Amino acid sequence: MASFSADRAYAEALDAGDQLAHFRDRFVRPNWDDVTYLNGNSLGPLPIRTQARIAEVIDQEWGIGLVRSWDNWIQLPRQAGDMVAEHLVGAEAGQVIVCDSVTVNLYKLACAALDARPGRTVIVTDDDNFPTDRYVLAGVAAQRGCELRLIHSDMDDGVSEQALAEALDDDVALVELSHVAYRSGALANMARLTALAHDAGALTLWDLCHSVGAVPVQLDADGADLAVGCTYKYMNAGPGSPAILYVRDELQHQLRQPIWGWFGQREQFEMGPRYDPAPGITSFLTGTPDIVGAIAVEEGARLLAEAGLPQLRAKSVALTEYVIALADVWLAELDFAIGSPRDSGRRGGHVSLRHDDAWQLTQALLRTGVIADYRTPDRIRLAPAPLYTSFAQVWDGMNGLREIAASKSYTDIPIDPSGGSS
């Protein structure tokens, strides 16, 4: 490959050598020629096979099979979980289940972890963690008279080992962190942070929302205890698709989650007088699972597995390196700064660009068909997903940003007082 050039021809040459380029055709894309989609870390697009499977489930299994289809549906949360376990998060079968939302699963696992560490009254997380994580943990701490200890994390660089080490003591029951930071994309060292927590006698709960399908995750090998993650981003399972929940094998019999629902019950259809949790990961189910969503999760995992996570990660690194290289030559002089780690080994699937007018710039990009997103206080997040984003699209998006910033054509856009994002 020729050395880096900011010409579009360079991007086209990278695309010509891209072994994964054909996966773009596996998505429904009626208007993709008009849109440069760099927002797969919020909502992934619709795979063709998922569309077909969902139509089949609705028309045949629901429409014709009616309640009889539960015979096939009942195992889906575990079946989809095992696919995610094997192909995406480095876990042996029987440790991942697909259910509920990330928020609800965080609650379930945080409560279960506190109960499993009697006498310990502190939960540790970081002050830049995703809001739902901080809110759920604050709620759990308030309900139980516990302390939520917030460690400071660098908005561009993520959580440091030193900051975590300083926050740990014999009172800490649980450490909850995001594996990839939602704002900067900073990638935490799961093995090392987990080991620190374990040395202090605490359990770990990892938020994998920006990791599943984006970066290789080794939950078993890294010693993680618990994890949650969403499936509507890099897994392309659709808006509100059910989340994943991981509980390490040897903890499953020790941990009891707080929502005692009938889908977590041992002999569910005996309709017995009292709650008796099912063995294994099934006890972490609550109520009737979202079947259409679980089908989409299974298909999402299948598609990623077909492409191969190592191959996807290699392309993702090349794409984000390219974003940073173009930002350096074009955008540094237009008052942008990189708000993500420069070392690709410490970065997930997206890059944040900082600029004082980030909100207006993001809206102006949207007017031209480039879909990125804004995050407070001053960031534009760009997520080139390796399954369907080309280098030429990255070039188009970055060139669009350069033109808008240089011409200041965004200044007519009112500043959203809430700093809201699309």
Ligand X SMILES: Cc1ncc(COP(=O)(O)O)c(C=O)c1O
Active site residues: 130, 207, 232-233, 381
User: Closest distance between ligand X and the C-beta of residue 233, in Å?
Assistant: 7
Of the candidate residues 210, 375, 379, 381, the single one contacting ligand X (CB under 6 A): 210
- Is residue 101 a contact residue for ligand X (CB under 6 A)? yes
Interface stretch with ligand X, choices 100-108, 114-122, 167-175, 373-381 (CB under 6 A): 100-108
User: Closest distance between ligand X and the C-beta of residue 167, in Å?
Assistant: 20
| Helix segments in 211-357, DSSP class H | 219-222, 291-307, 309-326
Site for ligand X in 216-235 (CB under 6 A): 230
- Is residue 421 a contact residue for ligand X (CB under 6 A)? no
Interface pattern 142-181 for ligand X (x via CB under 6 A) = ------------------------------------x---
Positions of E strands within 15-99: 36-37, 96-99
Interface stretch with ligand X, choices 74-82, 97-105, 140-148, 248-256 (CB under 6 A): 97-105
Count residues binding ligand X (CB under 6 A).
13
What would the two tokens of residue 18 be?
A: 């891209």
Q: Which is nearer to ligand X, 121 or 189 (CB)?
A: 189
Interface stretch with ligand X, choices 101-109, 295-303, 341-349, 409-417 (CB under 6 A): 101-109
What would the two tokens of residue 35 be?
A: 């849109």
- Is residue 130 a contact residue for ligand X (CB under 6 A)? yes
* Cα–Cα distance for residue pair 373/183, rounded to 1 Å: 10
User: Closest distance between ligand X and the C-beta of residue 159, in Å?
Assistant: 13
Of the candidate residues 103, 252, 399, 409, the single one contacting ligand X (CB under 6 A): 103
- Spatial strand order of the sheet with 172-178 comes to 96-99, 243-247, 226-229, 203-207, 172-178, 122-126, 147-151
* Cα–Cα distance for residue pair 208/239, rounded to 1 Å: 17
User: Closest distance between ligand X and the C-beta of residue 38, in Å?
Assistant: 16
**Which of 383, 395, 366, 378 is closest to 339 using CA atoms?**
378
Of the candidate residues 128, 207, 290, 396, the single one contacting ligand X (CB under 6 A): 207
Q: Which is nearer to ligand X, 213 or 400 (CB)?
A: 213
- Is residue 134 a contact residue for ligand X (CB under 6 A)? no
Of the candidate residues 85, 99, 102, 371, the single one contacting ligand X (CB under 6 A): 102
User: Closest distance between ligand X and the C-beta of residue 241, in Å?
Assistant: 9
349 C-beta neighbours (distance < 10 Å), count: 26
* Cα–Cα distance for residue pair 108/84, rounded to 1 Å: 20
What b-and-e string marks burial along 185-213, b requiring 16 or more CB atoms within 10 Å of the CB? Answer: bbbbbbeebbebbeebebbbbbbbbbbbb
According to DSSP, the β-strands at 172-178 and 203-207 are: parallel
**Which of 160, 148, 142 is closest to 124 using CA atoms?**
148
> Which residues here bind ligand X, judged by CB under 6 A?
101-103, 130, 132-133, 178, 182, 207, 209-210, 230, 243
